[in-house]
Amino acid sequence: MTGILLAILAAVSWGSIVFVSNKLGGDENSQTLGTTVGALVFAIVVYIYKMPELSTVTWAVGFVSGLLWCIGQKNQFGAVRYLGVAKTAPISTGLQLIGTTFFGVFIFKEWQTTTSIVIGLAGLACIIIGALLTSLNQGDDKGQKKSQKEGLLILLFSTVGFVTYVVLIRRFNIDGWAAILPQAIGMVTGAFFITIRDKPYNKYAIRNILTGLIWSTGNLGLLLALPKIGVATSFSISQTGIVISTIGGLFFLNERKSKKQVWIVLLGCLFIIIGGVLLGLTKR
């Protein structure tokens, strides 16, 4: 039960990130920089408390992982400008689950039985359906369709960053507690070089330190849940927090356009959640 609650903590924290950062204001550059600074502050506190042993490999892999995460997060924030929070959150989640599942199956050989393959494929099908539903464009405006295509392209870059940041840690079996500080340093470094041209040093970057603290809380919750309920189950539960971003975007950020669109997006979220749960069951 404790593991489930920790995974839910990750879901609530991560599901709030896009919504909270949007409310705090700023563009994707100031949001990314502020988030990484918040993550670094959190990582320093955790390191002082836990004092994990940091090897050269841990520093190198953690740092690169943080750089990759930065690419993923900046592009996710950037996609909001084209798609809105209500669409960005579920589509991004669906793509990440598909990406991590691909590596889990073909690289780490996690699906070993016929049952797990059937359940896993059903989960992927649900996620794809959900992502398609949330990305549907009801309007015929050409400018709107072009904006959606640009947003989806940005989300593809975001997915590459997010998936590889997770896979890299898994590939080298880096301890979660030890990875936090090198990862946070990589995140801040990546944010500095990626955003320096746009000079994101403003009040919005300072505000979004809160976003980084929220993200780090979710990250810690997931790390603590891993040894209790497993990787697949904990990660799948952690991704169900998209409901928060989606509902926040629809009802609190004035992204609602019609009742039909609201129901379609919510239905898409439901499919993605079901798909995530099914993927979690493949480890049983």
Sign of the CA dihedral running 23, 244, 160, 126? negative
Distances (CA, A) of 219 to 10, 122, 125, 195: 6, 27, 27, 23
Q: What is the pLDDT, as a whole number, of residue 249?
A: 74
What is the tens place of the pLDDT at every residue in 56-84?
999 999 999 999 999 999 999 999 888 88
**String of b and e for 107-124 (b: at least 16 CB within 10 Å)?**
eeebbeeeebeebbebbb
Q: What is the pLDDT, as a whole number, of residue 192?
A: 93
Q: What is the pLDDT, as a whole number, of residue 133?
A: 84
What is the tens place of the pLDDT at every residue in 196-241?
888 889 999 999 999 999 999 998 888 788 777 766 667 777 877 8
Number of H helices, E strands in the chain: 12, 0
Q: What is the pLDDT, as a whole number, of residue 232?
A: 65
The pTM of this model reads: 0.85
Q: What is the pLDDT, as a whole number, of residue 139?
A: 53
Residue ranges of the chain with pLDDT lower than 70? Answer: 135, 137-144, 230-233, 254-257, 283-284
Q: What is the pLDDT, as a whole number, of residue 53?
A: 92
Q: What is the pLDDT, as a whole number, of residue 17?
A: 86
52 burial class (0-12, 13-18, 19+ CB within 10 angstroms)? middle
Say how many domains are in the chain. Answer: 1
Q: Which domain holds residue 84?
A: 2-281
